[in-house]
Amino acid sequence: MNRGTAAVVAGTALLSLTLAGCSLNVQNVPLPGGADLGGHPYTVKADFADVLDLVPQASVRVNDVAVGRVTKIGLGADGWSATVTMKVNGKVKLPANAYAHLEQSSLLGEKYIQLSAPTGGKEQPSGTLRDGAVIPVSHTNRNPEVEEVFGALSMLLNGGGIDQLKTISVQLNKALTGNEPEIRSMLGQVDTLVSDLDAHKQDITDALDGVNALSATLAARDQQIGTVLTGLSPGLKVLEEQRGQLVTMLRSLDTLSGVAVDTVNRSKDDMVADLQALAPTLRRLADAGKALPDSLQVLVTYPFTDEVLNGVKGDYLNVYLDLTAVPGTRLIPEMPASGNVYPPDPEQPQAARKSKATTDKKLRDAGIPLPLPSVTGTGTSTGTHTSTGTSTSTGTRTSGGRR
């Protein structure tokens, strides 16, 4: 035995004695080539529904760059989930709402934890991930295992769906064979329908919103609707009782409509002839034009129309009004040219008669017309008439003028 071999044996014996003398947890020994944690790493925990075969000392990565390692794996507080404790380099800054994904480096490679920020802009960062932070289950997931993929593929290949796919393919081939134009037309119509629906999606959304508002209104007034429906029950019952009469009435209306149509059809020629005969009269009325309204205006003012004034010379048209007084009426004669206006009234005091005579004289001298005398008597007038020219009758005649 040379010296090299003796040194190796001695070293092996020394290592065996050391391992036998104290307990050593191999999982706590950092793997060579691991991530550099720096001088001030911080601890982060993540709750997983299933960690598969993840082991301590597994890598923790950000964008596939190793930034830490898994230090501990244990059961969560609920006893069903797994809590993974990680140490991350203190220089790595992650958002407080970061995600933790359990991924695999290759098809048969090791498991590791991938930390990432939320994507899509749906969640805004709310600070940074600090020491002792816990990533909830809602922000963790895992990729499917190779065994799971093979199991699903085995189920599909072993009668799980291949036969059904073959049946579907054969039936589709039979259905499409010889119907290519119809299928092409149907696809074109479907494309048009989808295009129209896409162009009117805002209208469809508004209609759905309107239906939603209507449903909310109906739900808020369900009591009133129930009352209305309850009140309709007696009316519906009456309609049900009178159904026979309603049917008879509708049949009678059908018969009446048939008779009316037949009557119109039979009298159509006569009605057309009457309208044709009426056409000349309407044409003459249309030709009359403005003359017809003017003639109607003269007709309603007969016998003294406005046109009569145009044929009268001068400014006045003499009109005489003859009044026939009732028997027993005292008539006062016309006013004399001079002197007192009226004969003295024996029943009136002398002073009053003189005052009235003086007043009348002043009015006459000033050119002011005197008031008409009052006529006393009982009974009603036998009649009045007007005439032009000179007439003689028993009573008082008043002459006037029309300007």
- pLDDT score recorded for residue 306: 64
- How many structural domains are present in the chain? 3
Indicate whether this model's pTM tops 0.85: no
Both 301 and 332 in one domain: the answer is: no
| Position 276 in a domain | yes
| Position 53 in a domain | yes
| Position 134 in a domain | yes
Q: What is the CA radius of gyration of the chain?
A: 62
Domain end marker among 116, 143, 170: 143
Percentages of the chain per state (helix, strand, coil), in multiples of 5:
45, 15, 35
Report how far residue 49's alpha carbon sits from residue 234's, in angstroms, rounded to the nearest whole number: 63
Cα–Cα distances (Å) from 319 to 55, 316, 355, 383, in that order, read 137, 9, 35, 17
Domain end marker among 143, 169, 189: 143
- pLDDT score recorded for residue 168: 81
Domain end marker among 259, 292, 311: 311
- pLDDT score recorded for residue 1: 45
Give average pLDDT by consecutive 10-residue segment, the chain, 403 residues: 45 49 54 73 92 89 91 88 92 90 84 86 70 90 80 71 75 86 91 92 93 92 89 87 91 92 90 90 83 71 62 58 74 57 58 70 63 47 40 40 40
Q: Which amino acid is at 191?
A: D
What is the domain extent for residue 119? 26-143
Please state the three-class secondary structure of 218-276 as a single string: HHHCHHHHHHHHHHHHHHHHHHHHCHHHHHHHHHHHHHHHHHHHHHHHHCHHHHHHHHH
| Position 32 in a domain | yes
Both 303 and 392 in one domain: the answer is: no
